A and B are shown apart, each in its own frame.
Chain A
Amino acid sequence: KAGVTQTPRYLIKTRGQQVTLSCSPISGHRSVSWYQQTPGQGLQFLFEYFSETQRNKGNFPGRFSGRQFSNSRSEMNVSTLELGDSALYLCASSTDRVLGNEQFFGPGTRLTVL
């Protein structure tokens, strides 16, 4: 099976712009979670989607949004970018986390905001 793929791998934007990141989960996985990773804050949960519905949401401002399509692919969008949004954004998929199944992570998208 192909692993979790994320596109693009690297992105450079300027303050005020918006960005859309994409995640393709492992085939058959219905749960997709997004995380922001920074050196100072570690791994912070953004949101989780399961069967096109947002199941959980982290403590991020409304500028951060996401969605999941019927084929389980997911996108996250960040509007009005700020310098502090520079981070590695990780996507993870799972069959169903509720049963303790592991999450499979993609390589991440590294976003730099100038």
Chain B
Amino acid sequence: AQSVTQLDSQVPVFEEAPVELRCNYSSSVSVYLFWYVQYPNQGLQLLLKYLSGSTLVESINGFEAEFNKSQTSFHLRKPSVHISDTAEYFCAVSAVNRDDKIIFGKGTRLHILP
């Protein structure tokens, strides 16, 4: 079985400052990793995902995440945040080529300070 830990429930950061949202996972098998974002009063949307290949994955709006197998982490970063990034971010893991359920972390709420 897999598990996901998002170490911070809330992260305040000033506009245009860098941010890192932390995600650690545990699994005995190979995994797919995802970051989803939930804007206020909306459902979740995929931000980026790691399936295989390059360990650094990027989204179209400037976020990136790096798969670190030795540290079992998949931290999300952005070099300069904007007020529009205010949202809740969820890390998720699922087993490769298996129909086990996807496991979501409890989420990290990103507060952008003016």
Which residues of A are at the interface with B, using a C-beta cutoff of 8 A?
A: 4, 33, 35, 41-43, 45, 48, 50, 55-56, 58, 90, 92, 97-100, 102-108
- With both beta carbons as reference points, the residue of chain A lying nearest to B97 in the complex is identified as A98
A92 to B38, CA, bound (A): 13
Is the beta-carbon distance between B102 and A97 smaller than 8 angstroms? yes
Could you tell me the distance between the alpha carbons of A62 and B104 in the complex, rounded to whole angstroms? 22
Q: Are B43 and A102 in contact (CB under 8 A)?
A: no
Name, among B32, B43, B96, the residue most crowded by chain A CB atoms within 10 Å (CB to CB). Answer: B43
Q: What is the distance, in angstroms, from A1's C-beta to the closest C-beta of chain B?
A: 15
CA distance A107 to B39 in the complex (A): 11
Q: Is the CB of A105 within 8 A of B98?
A: no
Q: Is B11 in the interface zone, CB < 8 Å from A?
A: no
User: How far does the Cβ of B38 sit from chain A's closest Cβ, in whole Å?
Assistant: 8
In the complex with contacts A56-B99, A90-B44, A100-B106 CB distance below 8 A? no
Report yes or no: B99 in contact with A102, Cβ–Cβ below 8 A.
no
* Interface stretch of the complex, out of B21-29, B45-53, B62-70, B77-85: B45-53
Given contacts A43-B90, A45-B104, contact A97 B45 (CB under 8 A): no
Chain B interface size range: 20 to 34
Q: Complex Cα distance A33/B36, Å?
A: 15
Partner of A98, one of B42, B44, B98: B98
Complex contact A102–B49 (CB within 8 A)? yes
Q: List 24 A-B contacts (CB under 8 A).
A: A4-B43, A33-B101, A33-B102, A35-B104, A42-B90, A42-B104, A42-B105, A43-B44, A45-B101, A45-B103, A50-B99, A56-B99, A56-B100, A90-B43, A90-B44, A92-B43, A97-B94, A99-B97, A100-B96, A103-B102, A105-B43, A105-B44, A106-B43, A108-B43
Kindly list chain B residues whose C-beta atoms are within 8 Å of the C-beta of A108. Answer: 43
CB-defined contacts of A41 to chain B, threshold 8 Å: 106
- B9's nearest neighbour on chain A, judged by CB, is A42
With A42-B107, A90-B43 as known contacts, state yes or no: A100 contacts B51, CB within 8 Å.
yes
